[in-house]
Amino acid sequence: MPLLNFQPHTQIPASKSIMNRLVICKSYFPNLEIQSDSNCEDVVLLREALGNINRDDFYVGSGGTTLRFLSLRLSRYPGKHRIRMTPQLMSRPHADLKDLLEQLGIANSWQNNEVLIEGGKWNHTKPIEVGVEQTSQILSSLLLNAWLLEDDLEIHFRGELVSPSYLKMTLEILHYLGMHWLPLENGLKIPKGQTIRNFEVKSEIDMSSAFSVAALCSINKNHCIEPFNIPSIQADAEFVRVLQNMGVDLHFGQQSLHIQKCETLKGITYNLHDCPDLFPVLAMLCSMAEGESKLYGAPHLVYKESNRIASIAHAFEKLKIRHERLEDGIWIAGQAAYLQKDFTEMSCFEDHRIAFALALAKLHGHNIKILGSDCVKKSYPSFWQQFDEDFCEKDLYL
């Protein structure tokens, strides 16, 4: 079978989730060599902030991860710090982050699309409770900033942990670098004086971005993603099994993944609890399948860059795709042969993963114009260039 040569090592960025975690660790240990790079907006902004931590003014754009990781990093750096953000990010829930900072004895105030933090020494002589029901990122941020403490840090989880796969990623990275901890019944204890032991590390490619490309391949043309390695510490690598269950023919090379265009996609039922970032693109792909699909298990989708359940439901309404919103996902009536012929404009809601989903709809043949498409710079800045060059006629996405 002829396969097009696809080299995502220059086009699919390193995982921004991994890179953001490594950049925080490097801020404590400048000799750490990260043998990967990323021009994703979230990573660029975090790297720029940490590269000049002496200043008192920072900007994180719409990056929730960037805000959470940077807030805890600055909380350990003496002085007053201002972190500016977009109105979209300011409108997202921050109560658990505020509470954590207050428990650590760090003054913080939130108004006018910015947070003011007065950094210094943490006060953690008592156990610290971290809310984990809406996101695991705040807990990850606390762990990533637990290097070189003068006292033990005892952490208790408050609520049922969502996205445990991302906490697992954090712990695997920290373990590789040399941090150790003691498990508690519902938490962790980080002994004081943690220091790094491995000074070279390399990030994997971003599996969420790889899924967006693989989904395009599955409805368009045979393609090869190279390099591609599994097993992966990213839960989104589960997309390989998801596509196989939908009937997509995949083949693995030594360091590559070959995707064959699928003539008839099959609907699926899938629990997104561990990999909610697959939801927007997967939901759109399911709308092109034969048979019903149900995506469930991720009520925390409402706290992402947009309310992703509502955003996809809005897209389906405009595309006239039968669906039913669920509290934790969506039910979709597969309409494999259906195309929206009436021209319509579609909003990304400033959400990069909604943009990827709409790109899939555009490639499928829906007559749409995608508004706000530059939001992909958050995780995959070269996406539209590659979409243009590899999957469709010039400027089709505009």
CA–CA–CA angle 215, 39, 42 (5° rounding): 85
Domains in the chain: ranges and CATH: 53-194 (3.65.10.10), 207-391 (3.65.10.10)
pLDDT digits (tens, 9 = 90+) for 78-125: 999 999 999 999 999 999 999 999 999 999 999 999 999 999 999 999
Q: For 317-342, what is the mean pLDDT?
A: 93
Helix residue ranges per DSSP H, 76-136: 87-90, 95-103
State how far the alpha carbon of 397 is from the alpha carbons of 190, 282, 394, in Å.
49, 19, 8
Name which residue leads in pLDDT, 6 or 350: 350
Please report, as a single letter, which amino acid is at residue 99: D
Distance CA 398, CA 386 (A): 14
Provide the pLDDT for residue 11.
61
Please report, as a single letter, which amino acid is at residue 381: P
pTM, entire model: 0.92
Nearest alpha-carbon partner for 176 in 21, 6, 333: 21
Provide the pLDDT for residue 398.
43
State how far Cα 18 lies from the chain centre. Answer: 10
